[in-house]
Amino acid sequence: MAATPISKKTPVTIGLVVIMCIGCAWVGNTYRSFGNRIENLERAIKGHMESNKKLSIALHDALKEHNDFKIELERKTRDRWAKINDYAFMQEYSRLNNLRMVPHERVFSVTIFKGATQ
């Protein structure tokens, strides 16, 4: 089953989950020192997008909504880093949507929201 394409009619939650490992080189010590976490997470997402073309295509429109993206990412990271140990779900989501799973045991997910209405 392919990932659902993003369209103008998509409701608030796009539903695409971005996966990154906690020890990711792009992120560094973001999770212990919250100084530049948003910029680091954005850099991490872009790095993973470059290595996964399906994520790149699906996230293209969402990343245009930069301000809404940053606000939601900020909220998710404040909320215990967006459920850090949700590994089984990520494996299943990746399998169902033909996404490449990062080869690490600990990942976290960020659901990207499009638009400010909720």
The pLDDT tens digits for 61-112 are 444 444 444 444 444 444 444 443 344 545 555 555 555 444 443 334 444 4
Residue 2 lies in a domain: no
Count of domains in the chain? 1
Q: What is the pLDDT of residue 23?
A: 34
Residue 19 lies in a domain: yes
Q: What is the pLDDT of residue 44?
A: 56
Model confidence pLDDT, tens digit, residues 19-59: 333 333 333 333 334 344 445 555 555 555 555 555 444 45
Residue 58 lies in a domain: yes
Residue 43 lies in a domain: yes
Residue ranges making up the domain that contains 102: 13-107
Is the model's pTM score more than 0.75?
Answer: no
Residue 3 lies in a domain: no
Residue 21 lies in a domain: yes
Residue 1 lies in a domain: no
Calculated CA dihedral for residues 82, 51, 95, 41, nearest 10 degrees: 0
